[in-house]
Chains A and B, each alone.
Chain A
Amino acid sequence: KAGVTQTPRYLIKTRGQQVTLSCSPISGHRSVSWYQQTPGQGLQFLFEYFSETQRNKGNFPGRFSGRQFSNSRSEMNVSTLELGDSALYLCASSLADRTYTGELFFGEGSRLTVL
């Protein structure tokens, strides 16, 4: 079974640009969540999507947005990039119905550098 796939793995942008990151979950997983990992702030929850609906949201500005498609693939977008947005963005998928609390399967991440 293929794992969680994130693209691109590495990218470099300049301040003010926008970026779109993609995540393909494990087949059959309907929940996709996104995390930002930085040396200073650690791992922080961005948002979670389930069946194309945002179910949970972290404490990030509106420049960070996401969506989920009918095939469960998800994208996240960051607009008007700032230097502080440089981070590893991790996507995780899970079966995640409302009675399930279990394993999140993480992708290898997309490393964003903002210059």
Chain B
Amino acid sequence: AQSVTQLGSHVSVSEGALVLLRCNYSSSVPPYLFWYVQYPNQGLQLLLKYTSAATLVKGINGFEAEFKKSETSFHLTKPSAHMSDAAEYFCAVSPIQGAQKLVFGQGTRLTINP
């Protein structure tokens, strides 16, 4: 079965510092990978997705992620954190094209310190 592991349930960085949120997946076939963000009392919003095109994927709000098959990783980064980035971030995998059944990681809560 597909699974996603997010390392670190809480990450805290200073404003202007690098953001690195880790995600590892298990998949026996090339997966489709996603990062979603959830702000308090809101639903999830797609940040970026990997669907077997370029391994470096750029998303909204300055985020990007790199697909590394050898490491089964899809870590999310942003060079300079902003206070508005404080939220919960979810990595998700969909093993089957066309399947809307996503398997989510447990989430990482990102806190930005002034």
As a 0/1 sequence over residues 16 to 51 of chain B, the CB contacts with chain A under 8 angstroms (1 = contact) are 000000000000000010001000011111100101
As a 0/1 sequence over residues 93 to 114 of chain B, the CB contacts with chain A under 8 angstroms (1 = contact) are 0101111111111110000000
Q: Give the shortest distance, in Å, between A113 (CB) and chain B (any CB).
A: 15
> How extensive is the interface on chain B, given as a class?
20 to 34
B63 contacts the other chain (CB 8 A) = no
Residues in A with CB closer than 8 Å to B49 are 102-103
Contact between B100 and A33, CB atoms less than 8 A apart: yes
B residues in contact (CB < 8 Å) with A: 32, 36, 41-46, 49, 51, 90, 92, 94, 96-107
Residues in B with CB closer than 8 Å to A31 are 100
Q: State the interface size on chain A (CB cutoff 8 A).
A: 29
Residues in A with CB closer than 8 Å to B36 are 106
Contact between B44 and A106, CB atoms less than 8 A apart: yes
Which of A67-75, A77-85, A92-100 lines the interface with chain B? A92-100
Residues in B with CB closer than 8 Å to A92 are 43-44, 100
